[in-house]
A and B are shown apart, each in its own frame.
Chain A
Amino acid sequence: MIESDVFVQALQDIGVDFFTGVPDSILGGIIAELMERRLYTPAVREDEAVAMAAGAYMAGKIPAVLMQNSGLGTSLNTLISLNYIYQQPCILIVSWRGQGGKDAPEHLVMGEVMPQFLDTMKIPHRTLTEKTAFDDLRWVAETFMKKRIPVALNITKGVVKGLHP
């Protein structure tokens, strides 16, 4: 399991300097660490977070947006009719609720279709593992710089330490 502070430091090391989003339990440890470092700007909806990130990017920041995968649905239009067509990249750190069919009912459909959903939205994505974490983050940074569109790093349960171990 990756410690939250190590994960946040790794994001800062690749240059991320604007963090916003809407919480999820899987992301609880990361958000707590970001708040401790006074780096986190809370949003009330994921599409708002994505739009704030777009503004931050245009003002010279490297933004990351944290969200539960349900938020991908909420922010779909902003991601494609703002970030994608205007070439405003951001790093989406998406918790993969409902993966493998083991979760509360409201997460099961999105949990099942999430990779195809991201493909359809033309959002490059990868799923973080402890073993490949270094490569995963390097890939995120490279894709962000090269493609100038949103790029998603999916986080499954138990890969980054949460609030309740």
Chain B
Amino acid sequence: MRPEEGTMQSRAMAMAALLELLTDQPVVICNGFPSREAQKIADRPTHFYMIGSMGSAAAIALGVALSKPNKQVIVFDGDGNVLMGMGTLATVGALKPKNFIHVVFDNEVYGTTGNQPTISNVVPLEKVAKAAGYVNVERVREREDLVYEFKDMLKKDGPSMLLVKVNEMVEDAGRVMLDPPDITKRFMQAIQ
């Protein structure tokens, strides 16, 4: 059964729970439905919404984290995205930015293109991250565990990965409305 048997939580529910715990931290959100959903749940100038360049979310966030060592930088990523840019797990693991929290919403499918299966049902991405050198990694399913572990990671030195198993449900959210250059400008100003 896909996704992991018994997964009740949707990505939007998980994302909303995390966004409630965040204030002005930079958040880089991967392309596809995750960016659209984040924009709908809580549109903040500290959000960088990706609309293309799949696989690059963690690398963009790493560039921010290395340049702003005093800000905690969050990535909202997906399993398909992590698999595509898997080398970046190694770069993060090697450089060990303390201010880097990598959240992976793992629904085991390429949701934006019609739920074609990824391979994250057999490749545990948090274990790859751990082997690559992430300091803290957790895999969660329930909302309470998600909130508990995320709060804990906000207090700890990273890099950290929080993988949350979610179902394939997609929030009814439109395309990202801002023009890409405006997203850049707004984000730059907000994280100065």
Binding site for B on A (CB under 8 A): 18, 20, 41-45, 47-49, 51-61, 63, 77-78, 81-82, 85-88, 148
A55-B60, A59-B64 known; A48 vs B187 contact (CB < 8 Å): no
Measured CA separation A85–B57 after assembly (Å):
16
A54-B60, A55-B59, A58-B64 known; A48 vs B88 contact (CB < 8 Å): yes
**A44 and chain B: residue at smallest CB distance:** B87
Tell which of B50, B53, B68, B191 touches A77, judged by Cβ atoms closer than 8 Å: B53
Query: Which A residues lie within 8 Å of B91 (CB)?
Result: 42-44, 48, 52
> Is there a chain A Cβ closer than 8 Å to B95's Cβ?
yes
> Is there a chain A Cβ closer than 8 Å to B161's Cβ?
no
Query: Which A residues lie within 8 Å of B56 (CB)?
Result: 47-48, 51, 54, 78, 82
B192–A55 touching, CB < 8 Å: no
* Residue of A43, A55, A88, A148 with highest tally of chain B CB at under 10 A: A55
Measured CA separation A77–B84 after assembly (Å):
13
Tell which of B48, B87, B88, B180 touches A58, judged by Cβ atoms closer than 8 Å: B48
A86–B66 touching, CB < 8 Å: no
A45–B183 touching, CB < 8 Å: no
A56–B90 touching, CB < 8 Å: no
A61–B85 touching, CB < 8 Å: no
A86-B180, A86-B184 known; A52 vs B62 contact (CB < 8 Å): yes
- B45-77 toward A: CB 8 Å interface, digit per residue (1/0)? 000101111011001111111111000000000
Query: What's the minimum C-beta distance from A11 to chain B, rounded to whole angstroms?
Result: 17
A44–B88 touching, CB < 8 Å: yes
Chain B at the A interface: mostly helix, strand, loop or mixed? helix
B184–A55 touching, CB < 8 Å: no
A44-B90, A87-B184 known; A53 vs B53 contact (CB < 8 Å): no
A44-B90, A60-B192 known; A78 vs B184 contact (CB < 8 Å): no
A41-B66, A56-B63, A58-B184 known; A48 vs B191 contact (CB < 8 Å): no
B68–A59 touching, CB < 8 Å: yes
Tell which of B67, B90, B183 touches A61, judged by Cβ atoms closer than 8 Å: B67
* Residue of A44, A57, A86, A148 with highest tally of chain B CB at under 10 A: A86
A87–B60 touching, CB < 8 Å: no
